[in-house]
Structure 1
Amino acid sequence: MGRLDVRPAQPWRPPGWRNCWRAALLTASILSSCFLLTQAKGEKEIVIKMDTEHSEEGGSITFTPVGLDVGNLNTFTWYRGEIEETSRIFTFILVPPRIQNNGPSFTERETGGLDSSLNIRDLWLNDSGLYTLTAKVSSGTVIGFIVLNVLDVEEADTHPQASIFGIILGCMIGIVAMGGLGLFLYCRFHSAARRR
């Protein structure tokens, strides 16, 4: 009969700082990949501003990109949501003759400007949500995002507009901060236990 190799159980040892650093590096790489998705596609991200703080049902809104080199702009496309053909509002071609090629999400209330802006008139409550701009310039493609929150006329009179993007960003920062604090406490506890 073969000999059975039985080794005594090793006592549990808490992970040292070496394992904590590995966990910290893994956390940092995951977070950085989340924030660099657009750079991975080779696109430059730009800021988009609204022309008003409060967007009410029945009103109008204009989204305008900030710092876009309009002189080198060839085409731009606005989407209601993510970049998909089904959510395309229109593509504006600036090469003469200038053409606005409307897409599946066009409702006859949207118009584009020569500065790649988007104007929506007679706002509906279901216009709320994410809007995405892609613009082709001579140096490549730029992309921008903005979130619209259309308020009911009665709500607009009693409540200030809350930015959905601000809420999401605040939640993400809170999660990262809590994760960092948890990692710090974990490493601190196990380092102290190792010294005993």
Structure 2
Amino acid sequence: MSRIRVKNEEIIIRAASRVFAENGYAATKTAAIAELAELPKPNIYYYFGSKEKLYRAVLESVTEPLLAASAPFIEYRDPVMALTAYIKSKLMISKDYPYASKVFASEIMHGAPHLPEDIIARLSEQTRTLSAKLTDWMGQGLMAPVDAHHLLFAIWASTQTYADFNWQITMALGKEELDDDDFERAAQVITRLVIAGCGVQSLPAS
């Protein structure tokens, strides 16, 4: 794939993420996406074929990072290290893909009518894997016996809110947009709540 094609697809997906987030799927016009992307309207169809396929590309642009965010659970045996890295990864998705995250959230809130079955299957498998890992740590006495699924839900809610409810957060902080320090402080607070609240312990030194 040529660099020009890759660049143009990234530009279109970025523009489409914003338009879909602001208008919803049904009300979004490809002309509005083309205008924001500063590309001819035929380019939208040349690169993606249809609005539906472009919408899927937007969903994939955030679901792929969401799936990759679970890597710390595989990389680290230590629950403190894994959860700290996982929370940071989830927050970086809100920072780097704010509009795509809003599109994903809206899709879920409407019952996922356009979310492809293969993506649903991968997300479901990820949830099972993460829950099993948390349950295993509980069995080892490395964290309190809490409901693994609801712990994940709490982490998702607290990290994704920085994208999905960005307006509310910036209003409360009295600023136009969040910066790196805001996300770093958020990571520290959420991590501390999870680690301390769930009694998470590091593996004993060997």
Question: TM-score normalised to the size of structure 1?
Answer: 0.25
Higher helix share: 2
Higher strand share: 1
Larger radius of gyration: 1
Question: TM-score normalised to the size of structure 2?
Answer: 0.24
